[in-house]
Amino acid sequence: MEKTINESEQGTALEVRGREANPRKLYIESYGCQMNFSDSEIVASILGQEGFNTTQRLEEADLILVNTCSIREKAEQTVRKRLVHFNALKKNNPGVKVGVLGCMAERLKSQFLEEEKIVDMVVGPDAYKDLPNLIREVDGGQNAVNVILSKEETYGDVSPVRLGTNGVTAFVSITRGCDNMCTFCVVPFTRGRERSRDPQSILGEIGDLWEQGYREVTLLGQNVDSYLWYGGGLKKDFDKASPMQQATAVNFAGLLEMAATAHPRMRFRFSTSNPQDMTLDVIETMARFDNICNYIHLPVQSGSDRILKAMNRLHTRAEYFELIDNIRRLIPDCGISQDMIAGFPTETEEDHQQTLSLMDYVKYDFGFMFAYSERPGTLAARKLADDVPEEVKKRRLREIIGKQQEHSLERNRQHIGRVEEVLIEGPSRKSDAQWMGRNTQNTVVVFPKEHYRVGEFVNVRIEDCTSATLLGTATGYSKK
């Protein structure tokens, strides 16, 4: 998402070289999905203008910010422990201020500020432009809070500061919020209604990235296929737009085409796709452009029609198969990955078997799999008892993960003997003598460095694999 949740990145504090004149230091730690990591880059940009440079050293920070995730209870617990730790640092450094950003802000603002008193500032995902004012309030000795969700804010006019970057791949946000109201999901409550960003500002950001040497962009949103630009405003208000606005609106297929045409040598991915919103024209556009990667992250969550309905996923198992068949027909070598939830309320053994059999049909390249975690305020929490026992959830999750590992290995083996284009992202984690990059299907490829360099597109002959990685040898530069 793209890994939806990249475990190795969770909680990393990121730093970039800032302006020399900036007198104060910001330590920012991020949790959760890529959207949050991307938002931290917007925050760093806004605060860069306010006299803050980023640091990875907690002890020199004047301001500590934690960009939080509410998606599962475990994510919230991890953040809470970090906040207690940061608060304790104030004993040695009373001047340091601590702030909570992101998805936990709205839900837990009074608890953090008034009851537990472990933070000085709480800022929701649509209020980052208010940070300069909020910091002034905190500097003046008060607590500060702004968790108002916006109908318009897309941060389209903020040029993100790339944090912890490899200088090759970057994420560009195209939508904010989500209107889907899946019954398990807290996102519509923490991030608000769905709005799309002006395509011209998206293209501008991609152009800047190209100039800086970036070679791959992932267009990012909770539900990218639902992208709709008609001059600004909420997706749900499209009906009220003028006939001219409606006639000139840009949908996701249109945006993809604009990006791929304007930057023919940049490689594009996107995430996340909700099956109910993914249309044939998106798949056709992918098939038409060489520089749009053959990879779709297509969470399904469950293989049972009954559970899909209870989750308010607005498609059936048969419709999902039809979508998969269309993808395979138009893009035969397309990589497909999933998100899956084990143990949603009322899930029976038969429902679980349906999930396993759906996986057998699709044979995903990889996936992100979770045990159901009840989130306060969601429709499922209000209407359905969390009635699948914890050990049953865990066992079902193990079975789903086991099946995915088998399928990943089977899919990866199909690459052996092929020569595939790989964009080099950096050294392999296991050996400094090897490069790591990704093929079009988003599978990691590792190969000896030789004379190749980061940011180059090379052809790699795939010789071996594990369930997670392809191993090979470069045969030369690709035509790019």
- Stretch of 20-28, 78-86, 123-131, 367-375 contacting ligand SAM, by CB under 6 A: 367-375
- Stretch of 21-29, 288-296, 345-353, 368-376 contacting ligand SAM, by CB under 6 A: 368-376
Q: Compute the least distance from the CB of residue 272 to ligand SAM, in Å.
A: 4
Selected from 68, 223, 404, 439, the binder of ligand SAM by CB under 6 A is 223
Pattern 68-87, binding to ligand SAM, x per CB under 6 A? Answer: ---xx---------------
- Stretch of 13-21, 42-50, 181-189, 472-480 contacting ligand SAM, by CB under 6 A: 181-189
* Total chain residues near ligand SAM (CB under 6 A): 20
- The interface with ligand SAM within residues 229-288 (CB under 6 A) comprises 272, 274
Q: Give the CA distances from residue 26 to residues 59, 75, 127, 270, in Å, rounded to whole numbers and listed in that order.
A: 11, 22, 18, 30
Buried b (16+ CB within 10 A) or exposed e, 5-42: beeeebebbbbeebeeebeebbbbbbbbbbbbbbbbbb
Buried b (16+ CB within 10 A) or exposed e, 353-392: ebbeebbeebbbbbbbbbbbbebeebbbbeebeeebeeeb
Q: Which residue is nearest to ligand SAM (CB)?
A: 339
Q: Give the CA distances from residue 380 to residues 12, 153, 179, 265, 346, in Å, rounded to whole numbers and listed in that order.
A: 32, 28, 16, 45, 11
User: According to the binding rule CB under 6 A, does residue 310 interact with ligand SAM?
Assistant: no
Q: Compute the least distance from the CB of residue 260 to ligand SAM, in Å.
A: 23
Selected from 179, 277, 339, 386, the binder of ligand SAM by CB under 6 A is 339
Q: Compute the least distance from the CB of residue 212 to ligand SAM, in Å.
A: 28
Q: Compute the least distance from the CB of residue 310 to ligand SAM, in Å.
A: 13
User: According to the binding rule CB under 6 A, does residue 222 interact with ligand SAM?
Assistant: yes
Selected from 10, 150, 312, 373, the binder of ligand SAM by CB under 6 A is 373
At 463, which helix (H) or strand (E)?
strand 457-465
Q: Compute the least distance from the CB of residue 7 to ligand SAM, in Å.
A: 13
User: According to the binding rule CB under 6 A, does residue 308 interact with ligand SAM?
Assistant: no
Q: How does DSSP assign 18-76, residue by residue?
A: --TT--EEEEEEE-SBHHHHHHHHHHHHHHHTTTEEE-S-GGG-SEEEEEE--SSHHHH
Helix (H, G, I), strand (E, B) or coil at 412: helix
Q: Which residues contact ligand SAM by CB under 6 A?
A: 4, 33, 71-72, 180, 182, 184-185, 222-223, 272, 274, 299, 301, 339, 341, 370, 372-373, 375
